[in-house]
Amino acid sequence: MTKSRRPSSTRKRSTSRRGPARKAAPVRSPKLVRLKPLYEQIGRTIDQLQKLPPSDRVKFAIERLNQCRGEFAVICGPTMDIPAAGMLTP
């Protein structure tokens, strides 16, 4: 006895092995430099450092990164956006 084969038109096709499509990169305005993502990344890094055993190096890194976040808040204001060089007024 031989097995009958399905005609190719009704045969199941394998699914694509490609992974999920990436999101398109957000369109950024050439008129602004957005620092909020960097500000947030510094915060996540501080959280990771705080989970490490305390040492002088860890404490120093946390202190300096907190200073950076504070400077961002002072310089950039609530929006964390800085106008590009062509947009600055003298």
1: in domain: no
pTM over 0.85: no
7: in domain: no
57: in domain: yes
2: in domain: no
Q: How many domains does the chain have?
A: 1
Per the structure, the complete domain to which residue 40 belongs is given by: 32-87
DSSP 8-state symbol, 17: -
Write out pLDDT tens, residues 53-76.
Answer: 999 999 999 999 999 999 888 887
pLDDT in tens, the chain (90 residues): 566 666 666 656 666 666 666 776 666 557 788 888 999 999 999 999 999 999 999 999 999 999 999 988 888 778 888 877 655 554
Token couple for 12: 């199941």
Helix (H, G, I), strand (E, B) or coil at 45: helix
